[in-house]
Structure 1
Amino acid sequence: MKLPYEAHLLRIFIGESDRVGNRPLYEVIVEEARRRGLAGATVIRGFLGFGANSRIHTAKILRLSEDLPVVIEIVDAEEKIEAFIQELDGMIHEGLVTLEKVRVIAYRHNKKATS
């Protein structure tokens, strides 16, 4: 797969405990992105953050949180990202979704790897 030089970065901020049915929302989003043939997705787990309700979520031992921040990043062509955003609307009930233009420098695949 080749990405265009100019692409879009979709960034989704949710909580680790957010669910679709009994499955983590971040897993559902990544699997749907893969099913739709998007270039790739990365889930990043934060150790400190707050959102619209201003409640601090932290991984500190003395303030154990079960709802740490999670960021999902997906980069692809504008039209593929825009189509995917429509799917997200029904999944995300709380969180933040941002979109920005990015310049793709490299997107490579090791053809020798088989997995």
Structure 2
Amino acid sequence: MRPAGRALRLTVFLGESDRWHHRPLSTEIVHRAHAAGLAGATVFRGTEGYGASSVVHTARLLSLSEDLPVTVVIVDAEERVRAFLPALGEVAGERLVTLEPVEVPRLGQSGPAAPEDGA
């Protein structure tokens, strides 16, 4: 179910080479989020970035990296996201995780008609 109104965005910053039991860590996080019944999760692959190691990873041809930045973004009601944190902690370890409050508007819903000009 898609949240509406106030929600919480969970972002996990990873490297493409991060693994959990021989599969991509991002895949493990998405599957755990799905099993936890969260509204949705999306994995974004970056083209360039650096983290705590200060090593720049890039997709530019001359310096092709095998460890590009990856983020997993999950948005759901605050209590559901916070309940997911222990499961995330089991696999994410010391990686950077952020929580940000967000507003999820209801778009495409029929509401009261707008007043007409001159009425």
- Structure 2: which 5+ runs fail to align? 109-119
Runs of 4+ in 1 over 6 A off after TM superposition: none
**Structure 1 vs Structure 2: percent identity of aligned residues?**
52
- Structure 1: which 5+ runs fail to align? 109-115
Q: For each residue in 1:45-76, what CA deviation from the matched residue of structure 2 results, as whole angstroms up to 9, or x when unmatched? A: 00000001111010011111110000110000
Alignment-mate amino acid for residue 72 of structure 1? V
Across the two proteins, how many residue pairs are aligned to each other? 108
Where in structure 2 are the equivalents of 1:1-20 lying within 5 Å? 1-20=1-20
For residue 94 of structure 1, report the CA deviation from its aligned partner: 4.7
- Aligned residues of 2:4 and 2:105 also touching (Cα < 8 A): no
Question: Quick one: structure 1 residues 2 and 68, their matched pair in 2 at CA, closer, same or farther if it must change by over 3 Å?
Answer: closer
The TM-score with structure 2 as length reference comes to 0.85
Distance in 2 between residues matched to 1:65 and 1:56, nearest whole Å: 9
- Aligned residues of 2:4 and 2:106 also touching (Cα < 8 A): no
Match of 1:113 in 2: none
Where in structure 2 are the equivalents of 1:40-79 lying within 5 Å? 40-79=40-79
- Aligned residues of 2:2 and 2:76 also touching (Cα < 8 A): no
For residue 2 of structure 1, report the CA deviation from its aligned partner: 4.1
Question: Quick one: structure 1 residues 81 and 23, their matched pair in 2 at CA, closer, same or farther if it must change by over 3 Å?
Answer: same
Q: Root-mean-square deviation (CA), in Å?
A: 1.5
- Aligned residues of 2:45 and 2:70 also touching (Cα < 8 A): yes
Distance in 1 between residues matched to 2:82 and 2:17, nearest whole Å: 26
Quick check: which has more Rg, 1 or 2? 2
Alignment-mate amino acid for residue 67 of structure 2? D
Question: Quick one: structure 1 residues 94 and 67, their matched pair in 2 at CA, closer, same or farther if it must change by over 3 Å?
Answer: farther
The TM-score with structure 1 as length reference comes to 0.88
